[in-house]
């Protein structure tokens, strides 16, 4: 029996950004699917409605695979094993990059299920392109620690590693800590180190600025509650 | 005087992949532009023809900024300073990620020229999504050394770093060395280490497989001359 395919579906980074984020061909693929593994059901149903999914919402099969809502992994694969295609969705951006979806993909490989990643938005790649920093060597750290002392240490480690290896350092922070982290960046890093802040990517609120710490100090942005990503670069 | 905007335009990773790679909204933006900074003029003219650019090719303004064709950087900014928008293009994938374009972006920031990254294909992100490896922490190395001994050392360093930091290691290699690097991967790494090989992404030849070194050994793929990217992951 032929197995189904697992489509990896990136989702928009903000409101009203579907038309910018997905190609016509990929929208057609998503519209034709009827079963999904998602990080959060409510978020994904809204996205699928906006995409114009063909099957009525009541007939969609939606399995949650989030931080707190995991069934045993084999239970997600019965449809795929029987030959039905499924889509894997994250809440925003690319599934498997900063969400639990990578476990599903790993299991798909073990079962010889074909995995097809679709082109879509990633705040990591968009911000790296737009930073003007080194894109030949870069390190994504995910979230940084919450403890104040550990955060400062982490920022300084990133700065040192960037200088030593000519490497761009990238991390994310939850939107409600944007004001705090921007303050910490300018307090912790050297004046000549370059920092790029990118927020609200692909949305009407898009903000991207890349400059030295000494220039940020004169003009701290207000990015309250807007999803943001941070890049540090200090050429060796 | 209002300055122009610099649009960062990702291009398809292979033949016939435009419809998969760019959203309708972004295609419309590209079609409306008349001036470009590109890595290679011939490659970019072909892309712009396929996209259906509105201005006749003979009226397009195309400035090369490649490894071997750089003018002084200020010469690329006269149109932007006068208020005309420009597009920045790499040969394939995202400008600024593994091409010289990041220098243009850095200069744009210095001149307070707005930089707008468009969503598009990146072999790094597509392969990371499709690998099933850790997407919370990953390191892109660009190309690895050419010297045989240095290559082996680099592969082993990546494996050790992946294990130590629970971090996915990503690198690229020129297509004509695919057979060589696959051989070196299985010879250099431990049997339980996981390797993902992704080639011909978004094209008809797309090949993505993610498995342990011991499983690769039994079944080495033939990927001669197909652009490929490699990921190493060894969970700690």
CATH T-level assignment (fold) for domain A123-233? 3.30.950
- Length of chain A counted residue by residue: 236
pLDDT at A236 over 80: no
Q: What is the CATH number of domain A6-117?
A: 3.40.1010.10
The 8 Å CB, 24+ separation contacts for B213-220 are: B213/B185, B213/B186, B213/B189, B216/B182, B216/B185, B216/B186, B217/B186, B217/B191, B220/B182, B220/B183, B220/B186
pLDDT at B67 over 80: no
CB contact under 8 A, A23 and B22: yes
Instruction: Judge whether B6-117 and B123-233 match in fold.
Output: no
The beta-strand segments (E) located in chain A are 6-9, 35-38, 61-64, 86-89, 115-117, 138-143, 168-173, 194-199, 207-212, 228-233
For A188-211, write each residue's pLDDT tens digit.
Answer: 999 999 999 999 999 999 999 999
> Cα(A145)–Cα(B91) distance, rounded to whole angstroms?
38
Please give the residue of chain B at the shortest CA–CA distance from A142.
Answer: B136
Please give the residue of chain B at the shortest CA–CA distance from A23.
Answer: B23
* Helix or strand holding residue B143 (H, E): strand B138-143
Which residues of A are less than 8 Å from B164 in CB distance?
A: none
Query: How do the domains of chain A map onto residue ranges?
Result: 6-117, 123-233
Q: Which residue has the tokens 């309708």?
A: B24
> Can you tell me the ipTM of this complex?
0.95
For A93-134, write each residue's pLDDT tens digit.
Answer: 999 987 889 999 999 999 999 999 999 999 999 999 999 999
- Pair B123, B222: CB distance under 8 Å: no
Cβ neighbour number for residue A174 with a 10 Å cutoff: 12
pTM for this predicted structure: 0.96
Tokens in use for A118? Answer: 């679709």
Closest in A96, A121, A140 to B137, CB measured: A140
> Cα(B8)–Cα(A150) distance, rounded to whole angstroms?
35
Closest in A95, A107, A120 to B119, CB measured: A120
- Pair B123, B198: CB distance under 8 Å: yes
Give the gap in angstroms from C-alpha A233 to the nearest C-alpha of chain B.
Answer: 12
CB contact under 8 A, B140 and A139: yes
């Amino acid at each position: 029996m032929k197995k189904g395919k697992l489509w990896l579906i990136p989702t928009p980074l903000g409101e009203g950004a579907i038309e910018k984020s997905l190609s016509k061909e990929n929208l057609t693929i998503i519209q034709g699917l009827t079963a999904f593994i998602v990080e959060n059901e409510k978020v994904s149903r809204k996205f699928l409605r906006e995409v114009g999914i063909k099957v009525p919402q009541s007939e969609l099969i939606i399995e949650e695979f989030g931080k707190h809502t995991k069934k045993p992994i084999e239970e997600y694969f019965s449809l795929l094993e029987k030959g039905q295609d499924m889509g894997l969705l994250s809440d925003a951006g690319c599934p498997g990059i900063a969400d639990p979806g990578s476990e599903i993909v790993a299991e798909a490989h073990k079962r010889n299920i074909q995995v097809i990643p679709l082109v879509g938005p990633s705040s990591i790649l968009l911000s790296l392109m737009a930073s003007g920093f080194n894109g030949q060597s870069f390190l994504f750290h995910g979230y940084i620690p919450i403890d104040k002392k550990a955060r400062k240490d982490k920022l300084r480690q990133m700065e040192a590693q960037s200088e030593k290896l000519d490497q761009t350092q990238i991390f994310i922070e939850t939107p409600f800590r944007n004001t705090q982290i921007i303050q910490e960046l300018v307090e912790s890093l050297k004046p000549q180190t370059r920092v790029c802040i990118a927020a609200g990517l692909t949305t009407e609120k898009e903000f991207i600025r890349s400059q030295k710490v000494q220039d940020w100090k004169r003009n701290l942005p207000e990015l309250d509650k807007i999803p943001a990503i941070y890049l540090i670069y200090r050429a060796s």
